[in-house]
């Protein structure tokens, strides 16, 4: 589409992170900053021995690198571990962006949880509100709705109470809050008929 100020624009709906497939691309990839200590000469030797499917072969069985002359165990582990992490990060970032995270937030989440990202998100996505300051409750709540999480889930209510308390504190500048104010703001946001006694129990659990 054409924007009056910025000119032609692209509307990107999805992307795919791909590994190089031709020999020159693989040499360039393996000698990049992703693989410190693996220069162009070593990368070329790897490609000469393993061919166009070098990266797949390494991921499937790193012992194939033993076929490359003068390639020590430290470098073999470095290459293998970096490739595995590269594959893992791609999988996690795609998962997060498909849920609705913008790229910046997806990277924040992945950099914190790494290989546990999917486990943490599916177990309790509202945990992110406590763990990552840059991602607030409203963002997480909107994404959680796409995951069909129950609107009256205890995790959602607790996270909302915590968010409301912080919001009221910042707006008023006070460190003392009335529980009735917290209650009214919470039920207003959640659109739930929340039992007052149950609400007090959750407050006690958060304290």
pLDDT tens profile 47-76? 999 998 899 899 999 999 999 999 999 999
Phi, psi of 15 (to 5 degrees): -145, 165
Residue count of the chain, please give it: 207
CA angle 71, 72, 75 (to 5 degrees): 85
Rounded to whole angstroms, the Cα distance separating 131 from 162 reads 13
Q: Assign 1 a pLDDT band (cuts: 50, 70, 90).
A: very low
pLDDT tens profile 74-126? 999 999 999 988 888 888 988 998 899 988 899 899 989 998 999 999 999 99
Q: 3 has which bridge partners? A: 7
The whole-chain average pLDDT of the chain stands at: 87
Q: What pLDDT score was predicted for residue 52?
A: 87
Q: What pLDDT score was predicted for residue 19?
A: 58
In the block, residue with structure tokens 């959680």: 144
Q: 7 has which bridge partners? A: 3
Structure tokens given for 61 = 């069985």
Instruction: Look at residue 18 and tell me whether its pLDDT is greater than 70.
Output: no
Which has the minimum average pLDDT: 28-37, 46-55, 152-161, 177-186?
28-37
Region of residue 32 (phi > 0: left; psi between -120 and 50: alpha; otherwise: beta): beta
């Amino acid at each position: 589409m054409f924007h009056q100020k910025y000119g032609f624009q692209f509307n990107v709906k999805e992307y795919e992170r791909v590994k190089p497939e031709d020999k020159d691309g693989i040499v360039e990839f393996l000698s990049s900053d992703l693989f410190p200590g693996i220069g162009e000469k070593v990368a070329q030797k790897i490609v000469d021995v393993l061919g166009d499917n070098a990266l797949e072969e390494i991921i499937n069985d790193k012992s194939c690198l033993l076929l490359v002359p003068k390639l020590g165990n430290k470098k073999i582990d470095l290459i293998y571990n970096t490739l595995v992490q590269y594959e893992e990060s791609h999988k996690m970032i795609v998962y997060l962006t498909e849920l609705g995270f913008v790229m910046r937030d997806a990277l924040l989440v992945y950099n914190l949880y790494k290989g546990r990202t999917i486990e943490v998100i599916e177990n309790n996505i509202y945990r992110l509100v406590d763990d990552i300051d840059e991602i607030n409750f409203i963002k997480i709540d909107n994404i959680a709705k796409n995951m069909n999480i129950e609107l009256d889930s205890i995790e959602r209510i607790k996270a909302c109470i915590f968010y409301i308390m912080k919001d009221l504190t910042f707006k008023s500048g006070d460190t003392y809050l009335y529980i009735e104010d917290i209650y009214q703001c919470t039920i207003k946001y959640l659109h739930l008929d929340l039992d007052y006694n149950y609400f007090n129990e959750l407050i006690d659990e958060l304290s």
